[in-house]
Amino acid sequence: MQVQHILKSKADDGVVTVAPGTALKDAAKILAERRIGTVVVSEDGETALGILSERDIVRCLAQKGAACLDEGVEVYMTRELQTCGRFDAGDEVLARMTEGRFRHMPVIEDGKMIGLITIGDTVKARLSELSMEKDALEGMITNNW
């Protein structure tokens, strides 16, 4: 299964972005209100500069306390983004997320974000694929030819 199939299966294909300079507390509020684990930091909503996750906020709080919540997201975002493309294999993306210990990956095409997939999205797609394969194999085995 390719990343494009995973994107099509998502209920919401939008990418939530915040601009550099957004206060960490405002980004945290967006995460809580939207019930999501990450926001992409972008000046134009199309080009990813970095990604800020719940984990980044927790690390900031552990290191500096509540004072860091007034700082900009760009201070704490992950700048070295791991990205994928529309035609990348879902299994390869899942392996990269697992090995890298991160849960969100922007999907980039021609330098612009076209979506965001999560490790949950990829696992769900893989389980669906395995279920279809199982059903097909069971059908072949039990078919009375």
Q: pLDDT tens digits, residue range 35-74? A: 999 999 999 999 999 999 999 999 999 999 999 999 999 9
Residue 22, helix vs strand vs coil: coil
Residue 144 has what pLDDT? 59
Q: pLDDT tens digits, residue range 84-107? A: 999 999 999 999 999 999 999 999
CATH label of the domain that carries residue 60: 3.10.580.10
Quote the tokens at residue 95: 């392996």
- Which residue range forms the structural domain that includes residue 105? 3-142
| Per-residue b or e along 36-66, where b marks 16 or more CB atoms closer than 10 Å to that residue's CB | bebbbbbeeeeebbbbbbbebbeebeeeeee
Quote the tokens at residue 31: 């995460």
Prediction pTM value: 0.84
- Total number of domains constituting the chain: 1
